[in-house]
Amino acid sequence: MAQVVTHCVPGKFNAMIQVHGHVIEEVAYVIPELNNPLLDQPAIEKMHLVTVAEIESDSPIISQYLKLFKGLGEMGEYTHH
């Protein structure tokens, strides 16, 4: 079972974020214990950082990367940077 982590959010502000020429405005939350910034899926898609694709349940890619597609939001031993 996944561990639930809660943090105190002392504030938030509107931030202009730019990556590779794409500029978006997003609400940024201040979390003192957080060492790396996080982006939610809508922000990631607006910035064209990742494209989310629909994959059919019988697609060969699922059997090829079974550990990647198993569980809710888990990528198992796979990592990303």
Res. 59: pLDDT tops 80: yes
**Domain range holding 45?**
11-64
Residue 41 placed within a domain: yes
Q: What percent of the chain has pLDDT over 90?
A: 4
Global pTM reads: 0.45
**Does residue 5 surpass a pLDDT of 70?**
no
Instruction: Please count the other Cβ atoms lying within 10 Å of the Cβ belonging to residue 38.
Output: 10
pLDDT score of 14: 92
Percentage of the chain modeled with pLDDT above 70: 77
Give the pLDDT score at 75: 52
Q: What tens digit of pLDDT does each residue of 19-37 get?
A: 888 888 988 888 887 777 7
Please check whether residue 4 lies inside any domain of the structure.
no
3 occurs within a structural domain: no
Residue 13 clears pLDDT 80, i.e. is over it: yes
Domain count, the chain: 1
Buried b (16+ CB within 10 A) or exposed e, 4-34: eeeeeeeeeeeeeeeeeeeebeeebeeeeee
74 falls within a domain: no
